[in-house]
Amino acid sequence: MTRVALIAHDEKKPDLIEFALRHESQLETYDLVATGTTGQRLREETGLEVERKESGPLGGDLMIGAEVASGNLDGIVFLRDPLRAQPHEPDISALLRICDVHDTALATNLASAAFLIEGLAD
């Protein structure tokens, strides 16, 4: 089964929820994993089944990176706030590096996220 991680900085969580609702029929066919708070909100606000890792500040983004390194993820949607990211929020640089090393797709905005989700469906 296709496995996708979903991560969002605090200011982008509403955008990720809206994205998940728009693409719910596709996302429900995937095995989803997310950082803690993002995963909780996705479960509560969309009804999607999401495996929750730790919250970003507690290492959830690193846990997702480990899944990439283990070959257990097909793609990551990481909606980041390039202008107002807070120090406690996950840093994309480590995930970007591990995705590049393992040739795993990483989307950082809504347009690329839509392409990633649809591309994995093919």
> Which residues are catalytically annotated?
61
Give the rounded distance of the alpha carbon of 2 from its chain centre.
13
d(CA 55, CA 45): 18
23 is in an annotated binding site: no
Q: Is 37 annotated as ligand-binding?
A: yes
88 is in an annotated binding site: yes
Residue 75 annotated as lining a ligand binding site: no
With beta carbons less than 8 A apart as the criterion, state whether 74 and 122 touch.
Answer: no
Find all residues with CB under 8 Å of 112, minimum gap 6, and list them. none
Q: What whole-number distance in Å separates Cα of residue 75 and Cα of residue 68?
A: 8
Answer yes or no: is 71 a known binding residue: no
Look at residues 103, 96, 120, 121 and name the one whose alpha carbon lies nearest to residue 7.
Answer: 96
Place of tokens 């496995």: 3
User: Binding site for substrate: which residues?
Assistant: 9, 13, 35-38, 55-56, 88
Annotated binding site: 9, 13, 35-38, 55-56, 88
